[in-house]
Amino acid sequence: MKFDYKVKEYENEVFYPEDFSPDDEMTLDKYIFKSCTFKGCDFSNMLTVKCVFENCKFPMTHFGGALHRSTAFLNCNFENTSLFACTFDNCKCTGSSFCGADCTGFEVKGGDYSYAVFASCDIQRMDFSHTKLVNADFRNADLKKSKFVGCDMSGCIVHAADLSECDMRNAVLDAVSFSSAKLHKTKMDMFGAVQVASSFGVECEI
């Protein structure tokens, strides 16, 4: 399928190979893609604004240097996708899977990642501050030195995740079990510390 900038909505299309990188600072503004597959496409240095990608796949696609602003990636699959130096600014990525993606230099600025899957991802030093992460899956992820300040992490799965030197102060940690997570020099406020203790069966009285 050849992408046409004049067409604002696509559904059940396969783009391969297609170059979406901007020639003249091109911006994708309010485009809608539903159940589309982007095989080996190039979104390098692209700017998207308020676009919607729903149930889409991006195998072997490059997002290097791209900026996605208030764009929605709903139930998308980023396996084998390069997110090198890519920025998601206030994006909604509910239900999307980042498993198997290259997250080197990937930057998140707020937004909603509820039910997103980061299982086994290497996302050290990621700054998730003030991001919604309800029921997100971080099992076996390497999160060393990441920031979760002010996040809503209710129900997050952190089984066997490395949370060493993470900053989790003022985060909502309801129903999060830390019993198998690696905690070393992890920063938490009093309520977070109580949640950690409860994960090991300790009854705390405040």
pLDDT value, residue 75: 98
Q: What is the 3-state secondary structure (H, E, C) of 96-114?
A: CECCCCECCCCEEECCECC
- Tell me the pLDDT tens digit for each residue of 135-182: 999 999 999 999 999 999 999 999 999 999 999 999 999 999 999 999
Rounded distance between C-alpha atoms, residue 6 and residue 31, angstroms: 10
Q: Which residues contact 57 (CB under 8 A, 6 or more apart)?
A: 36, 37, 38, 76, 77, 79
Look-up of token digits 């091109």: 26
State the pLDDT at residue 2: 81
Task: Compute and round to an integer the Cα radius of gyration of the chain.
Answer: 18
- CB 38, CB 60: distance < 8 Å: no
Residue of 80, 77, 124, 81 lying closest to 105 (CA atoms): 124
Q: Residue with structure tokens 């999307």?
A: 96
- Burial of residue 83, with CB atoms counted within 10 A of its CB: 0-12 exposed, 13-18 middle, 19 or more buried: buried
pLDDT at 29: 95
The two structure tokens encoding residue 126: 């990621």
**Residue 21, pLDDT score:** 67
Ranges of CATH 2.160.20.80 domains, the chain: 7-103, 113-200
Question: 113-200 belongs to which homologous superfamily?
Answer: E3 ubiquitin-protein ligase SopA (2.160.20.80)
Q: Distance of CA 103 to CAs 7, 49, 64, 95, 125, Å?
A: 30, 21, 10, 17, 11
CA 54 – CA 57 distance, rounded (Å): 9
The answer to whether 200 and 177 are in contact (CB under 8 A) is no
**Spans in the chain with pLDDT lower than 70:** 21-25, 201-206
Instruction: Could you please state the CATH topology (level 3) that the domain comprising 7-103 is classified under.
Output: Pectate Lyase C-like (2.160.20)
